[in-house]
């Protein structure tokens, strides 16, 4: 009697545990841990649960994703990769080359991703023709933010060329206002640099230099001009900028201490969190010049064993690119949806500008990946360029020397 | 049985840590050396490709800056900490009142983590918040102390913070040394009418030679491995003006997916440590044989 009770209990527990794992399962590694970002991930999590999935959250904070990448490396090396990982840009292809990414083409084709994603963004999600990642959002990098009151009281319009910007900045300097709010951290220097490069060199030049790493373009006179403009910008930054965080620079624009900031559209979140209204308290415009630099966050799918995990992967991919998640997530995050057919009624005017420009530059072929945010190049090459940019910006190096150093560093990093 | 146990117990007790050190220290040194000869990028690969990573390393201007900084930082940090520590120890040794309290105050910085030291000094030396702003607030409009944001001076700002942290500890070492000097000799010298500075320079300090060596070894390895102080104080900036070999290695391994490059820089760092420690070990071991 006793024995059969145990047996029944054992059978029952096996059945129960089987039932528990029968649904789609996903373990998701990401580094969205700060306030607004965590809220955005929670949206995905609850949608996943509503569709019968079991979500195992694996947030790894710190180092702008460096800590998460270290965790990922350890997991992959031990043969136990997470289901989905927040990865972006060429890092996706880099992991694909290690032979650890899964194919989610069936979902992508069933959902018609190719029709709703801009071609150059879709390109990042493919590994040798198969789909291996799902895009979440599009951040625009080449934004210039301005304090509306400061511009108005100094009679300055939003600049449309770098010459206009320099003229406006000189005027502001004379009026005792810091023209450009900037934080002296390598990635911020690189962000300004690529906006200047796109403006002065144009989309074709940008692509040759920072996507294809064409040596002649890197050494060209246009590049010297770009470094000259960086030197000019250095003069418009206050003396206390070293090591300042980007959000403190945004605050300087907010309280009228400074007039402009060149920063991606996460800066908008700071303005809005402080109760400022776009178009009224602060202005947003693309930096002088043509083109659009994007930073697309995405989730790459890793090879996993077991049908429940594979089902989880497919469900996750479907939900991420789904209309509802793309809308809700990006409203929280300040970016715009990666798919072009999402209604933007609830988004603010800056997001509308961003979406309009994205479509226009997609057609004009000037929709380009940001090098400073790891979309255009692999870590070693992007890092080599940033080293030169930040060394030039923070010293009195001549533009010609900087260009020579740029070519050498890039060659050395290959 | 007990005799056997007595004979073998020490070996058995030591064996686990011996094995652990063999694997986790020497094993991984070997592994890093191996990886430094490959073209490993995101994940380690094991196919030997020669000295390419070392060639890349020595061609990198950033690595040059890091090694120069290590030299400037190391020399200044060690010399200033030792001089200040010795001075503090001699002053404390004058049989003064409240010595215990003073000693504790000087030692306290050592109880802080480098991250705390770095963050506090970042604010103290920030031109807009700290010393410069305060002194200007007193009316000295031309006062400038912008080392931490000046690429040519930032490494000296790191030295200031590091010296503040370590000199109290060096003082404690020297104080112990001073207390160990035989009182009789000093009294004899005083009876002979030798001036105090001569007593210090000719008798006391020479007799503390081993303490100098220990202090040097401790400070040298602190200097070579320093990482957290730079990260907290300057983040390696402005630009990469305060990069040290350790921060360079971290950037290569964890931000840039260039493991081969990181491994080769780690091997060079280890070479620097060896260059300092091996002569020390050699002299220690030889002294025992004599």
**CA-based nearest distance A409→chain B, Å:** 7
pLDDT band, very low/low/confident/very high, at B199 (cuts 50, 70, 90): confident
* Cβ–Cβ gap A387/B61 under 8 Å: yes
Count CA atoms closer than 13 A to B1's CA, side-chain side: 0
The answer to whether residue A8 sits within a structural domain is: no
pLDDT computed for residue B287 by the predictor: 67
Rounded distance between C-alpha atoms, residue A298 and residue A85, angstroms: 8
Q: At A63, is the pLDDT very low, low, confident or very high (cuts 50, 70, 90)?
A: low
User: How confident is the model over A9-58, as pLDDT tens digits?
Assistant: 444 444 444 444 457 888 999 988 776 678 778 888 888 999 888 888 88
Same domain, residue pair A174 and A271: yes
Asked if A205 and A221 count as a contact pair (C-beta separation under 8 A), the reply is no
Residues A145 and A162: their CA atoms lie apart, in Å, by 15
- The domain of A176 spans 141-294+355-413
Crossing angle for the helix pair A35-50 and A323-333, nearest 10 degrees?
A: 160
- Intra-chain end-to-end CA distance of chain A, in Å: 73
| Chain B closest-CA separation from residue A149 CA (Å) | 25
Q: How far apart are the C-alpha atoms of A121 and B123, rounded to whole Å? A: 42
Q: What is the pLDDT of residues B64-77, one digit of tens each?
A: 999 999 999 999 99
* Chain A interface includes B36 (CB < 8 A): no
Residues 6+ apart with CB under 8 A from B51: B37
The total number of structural domains that make up chain A = 2
Give B-chain residues touching A88 at CB under 8 angstroms.
none
Q: What are phi and psi of B23, to 5 degrees?
A: -80, -55
pLDDT in tens, A178-198: 999 998 888 899 999 999 999
* pLDDT number for residue B149: 83
For B106, list phi and psi in degrees, rounded to 5. Answer: -70, -30
Q: Please report where in the chains the tokens 């997530």 appear, as a residue.
A: A329
Cα–Cα dist A284/A145, whole Å: 5
CA distance B179 to A348: 73
A82 and A102 together in one domain: yes
In a domain, A2, yes or no: no
Same domain membership, residue A250 and residue A119: no
Q: How many CB atoms lie within 10 A of CB B79?
A: 14
A232 alpha carbon, distance to own chain's centre:
27
Does B115 reach chain A within 8 Å, measured CB to CB? no
Helices (H), A98-147: 105-111, 113-116, 119-124
| Residue A299, token pair as written in the block | 């989730």
| DSSP three-state, residue A171 | helix
**Averaged pLDDT, A192-211:** 93
User: What's the burial of B136, exposed, middle or buried (CB within 10 Å: 0-12/13-18/19+)?
Assistant: middle
Closest in B62, B128, B255 to A240, CB measured:
B128
Chain A closest CA to B73's CA: distance in Å? 20
A181 and A276 housed in the same domain:
yes
Average pLDDT, chain B: 88
**Closest-CA residue of chain B to A389:** B239
Average of per-residue pLDDT across A198-224? 92
Residues A307 and A364 in one domain: no
The strand ranges marked E within A219-372 are: 258-262, 282-286, 292-295, 298-301, 336-337, 367-369
Q: Provide, as residue numbers in chain A, all residues whose Cβ is less than 8 Å from the Cβ of B149.
A: 184, 239-243
Residues of B with Cβ-Cβ distance to A239 under 8 angstroms: 127, 146, 149
| Contact predicate A85/A30, CB 8 Å | yes
Chain A residues inside the 8 Å CB shell of B69: none
The answer to whether position A178 is within a domain reads: yes
Q: Looking at residue B33, what is its pLDDT?
A: 94
Q: How far is CA A411 from CA A95, A224, A380, B241, B248, in A?
A: 23, 18, 11, 22, 19
The shortest C-alpha distance from A20 to chain B (Å) reads 35
Do A286 and A311 fall within a single domain? no
The CATH architecture that domain B61-289 belongs to is: Orthogonal Bundle (1.10)
Q: Quick one: A153 and A288 in the same domain?
A: yes
What are the domain boundaries of chain B? Answer: 61-289
Clarify whether residues A152 and A219 are in a common domain. Answer: yes
CA–CA distance, A332 with A330 (Å, rounded to integer): 5
d(CA A270, CA A276): 9
Residues A278 and A240 in one domain: yes
Q: Which of A353, A380, A397 is the last residue of a domain?
A: A353
| CATH, residue A281 | 3.40.190.10
Element (H, E) at A30: strand A25-30
- Cα angle A157, A239, A139; round to 5: 55
Please state the pTM of the whole predicted model: 0.82
CB-based contact A91:B276 (threshold 8 Å)? no
| ipTM field | 0.75
- Count of CB contacts below 8 A, A vs B? 95
Considering only CA atoms, which of A343, A317, A352, A297 is closest in space to residue A37? A297
Q: pLDDT tens-digit profile of B201-256?
A: 888 888 888 888 889 888 988 888 788 899 888 888 788 889 999 999 988 888 88
Q: Are residues A122 and A237 in the same domain?
A: no
Residue A180 bridge partners (DSSP): A260
CA separation (Å) from A28 to A111, A322, B166, B253? 22, 18, 43, 23
Contact B239 A391 (CB under 8 A): yes
In this structure, the answer to whether residues A390 and A400 fall within a common structural domain is yes
Note whether residue A99 is domain-resident.
yes
pLDDT digits (tens, 9 = 90+) for A99-152: 889 999 999 999 899 889 998 899 999 988 899 999 999 999 999 999 999 999
What CA–CA distance (Å, rounded) separates A371 from A379? Answer: 10
Residue B284, Cβ density class (10 Å: 0-12 exposed, 13-18 middle, ≥19 buried) = exposed
Q: Residue A247's pLDDT is what?
A: 86
Do residue A276 and residue A318 come from a single domain? no
Optimal mutation site among A95, A243, A407, A413, interface B, most CBs of chain B within 10 A = A243
Determine contact, residues B231/B212, Cβ cutoff 8 Å: no
Dihedral class, residue B126 (left if φ above 0, else alpha if ψ from -120 to 50, else beta): beta
Contact A242 B60 (CB under 8 A): no
Last residue within a domain, chosen from A314, A335, A353:
A353
User: Helix, strand or coil for residue A398?
Assistant: coil
Task: Tell me the average pLDDT of chain A.
Answer: 87
Three-class secondary structure of residue A127 per DSSP: strand
pLDDT-based confidence at residue B288 (cuts at 50, 70, 90):
low
| SS3 label, residue B194 | coil
Residues from chain B contacting residue A413 (CB–CB below 8 Å): 56, 258
Distance from CA of B67 to the nearest CA of A (A): 16
| Chain A residues closer than 8 Å to B255 by CB | 63, 66, 379, 383
Region of A284 please: left (phi>0), alpha (psi -120 to 50) or beta: beta
Interface of B with A in 204-263 (CB under 8 A): 234-241, 251, 254-258, 261
């Amino acid at each position: 009697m006793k024995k059969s009770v145990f047996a029944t209990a054992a059978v029952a527990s096996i059945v129960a545990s089987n039932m528990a794992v029968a649904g789609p399962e996903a373990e998701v590694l990401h580094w969205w841990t700060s306030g607004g970002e965590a809220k955005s991930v929670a949206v995905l999590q609850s949608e996943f649960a509503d569709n019968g999935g079991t979500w195992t959250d694996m947030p790894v904070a710190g180092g702008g994703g460096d800590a998460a990448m270290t965790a990922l490396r350890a997991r992959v090396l031990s043969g136990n990769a997470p289901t989905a990982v927040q990865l972006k840009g060429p890092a996706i292809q880099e992991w694909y080359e290690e032979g650890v990414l899964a194919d989610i083409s069936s979902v992508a084709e069933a959902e018609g991703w190719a029709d709703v994603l801009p071609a150059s963004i879709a390109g990042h999600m493919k590994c040798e023709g198969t789909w291996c990642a799902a895009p979440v959002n599009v951040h625009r990098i080449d934004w210039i933010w301005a304090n509306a009151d400061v511009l108005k009281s100094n009679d300055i319009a939003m600049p449309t060329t770098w010459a206009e910007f320099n003229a406006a900045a000189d005027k502001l300097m004379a009026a005792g206002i810091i023209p450009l709010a900037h934080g002296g951290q390598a990635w911020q220097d690189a962000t300004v640099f690529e906006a200047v490069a796109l403006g002065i060199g144009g989309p074709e030049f940008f692509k040759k230099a920072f996507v294809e790493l064409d040596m002649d373009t890197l050494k060209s006179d246009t590049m010297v001009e770009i470094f000259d403009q960086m030197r000019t910008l250095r003069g418009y930054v206050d003396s206390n900028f070293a090591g300042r965080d980007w959000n403190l620079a945004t605050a300087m624009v907010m309280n009228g201490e400074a007039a402009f900031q060149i920063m991606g559209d996460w800066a908008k979140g700071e303005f809005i969190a402080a109760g400022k209204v776009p178009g009224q308290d602060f202005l947003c415009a693309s930096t002088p010049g043509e083109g659009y630099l994007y930073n697309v966050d995405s989730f790459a799918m890793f090879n996993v064993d077991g049908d429940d995990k594979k089902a989880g992967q497919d469900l996750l991919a479907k939900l991420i690119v789904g209309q509802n998640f793309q809308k809700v997530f990006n409203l929280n995050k300040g970016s715009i949806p990666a798919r072009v057919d999402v209604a933007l009624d609830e988004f603010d005017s800056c997001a509308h500008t961003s979406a309009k420009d994205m479509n226009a530059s997609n057609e004009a072929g000037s929709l380009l990946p940001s090098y400073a945010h790891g979309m255009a190049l692999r870590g070693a090459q992007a890092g080599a360029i940033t080293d030169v940019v930040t060394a030039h910006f923070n010293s009195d190096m001549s533009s010609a020397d900087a260009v020579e150093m740029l070519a050498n560093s890039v060659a050395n990093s290959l | 049985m007990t005799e056997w146990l007595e004979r073998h117990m020490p070996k058995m007790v030591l064996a686990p840590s011996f094995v652990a050190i063999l694997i986790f220290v020497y094993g991984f040194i070997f592994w890093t050396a191996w990886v430094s000869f490959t073209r490993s990028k995101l994940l380690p690969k094991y196919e030997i490709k020669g000295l390419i990573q070392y060639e890349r390393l020595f061609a990198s201007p950033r690595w040059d800056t890091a090694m120069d900084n290590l030299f400037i930082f190391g020399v200044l940090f060690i010399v200033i900490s030792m001089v200040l520590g010795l001075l503090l120890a001699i002053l404390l040794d004058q049989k003064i009142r409240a010595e215990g309290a003073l000693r504790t105050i000087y030692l306290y910085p050592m109880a802080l983590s480098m991250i705390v030291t770095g963050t506090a000094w970042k604010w103290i030396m920030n031109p807009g918040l700290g010393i410069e702003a305060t002194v200007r607030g007193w009316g000295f409009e031309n006062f400038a102390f912008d080392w931490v944001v000046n690429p040519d001076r930032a490494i000296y700002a790191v030295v200031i913070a590091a010296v503040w942290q370590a000199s109290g500890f060096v003082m404690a070492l020297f104080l112990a040394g001073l207390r160990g000097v035989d009182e009789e000799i000093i009294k004899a010298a005083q009876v002979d009418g030798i001036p105090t500075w001569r007593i210090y320079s000719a008798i006391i300090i020479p007799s503390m030679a081993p303490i100098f060596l220990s202090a040097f070894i401790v400070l040298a390895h602190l200097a070579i491995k320093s990482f957290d102080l730079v990260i907290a104080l300057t983040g390696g900036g402005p630009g990469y003006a305060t990069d040290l070999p350790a921060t360079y290695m971290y950037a290569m391994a964890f931000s840039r997916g260039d493991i081969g490059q990181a491994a080769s820089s780690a091997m060079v760092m280890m070479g620097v440590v060896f260059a300092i420690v091996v002569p020390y070990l050699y002299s220690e071991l030889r002294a025992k044989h004599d």
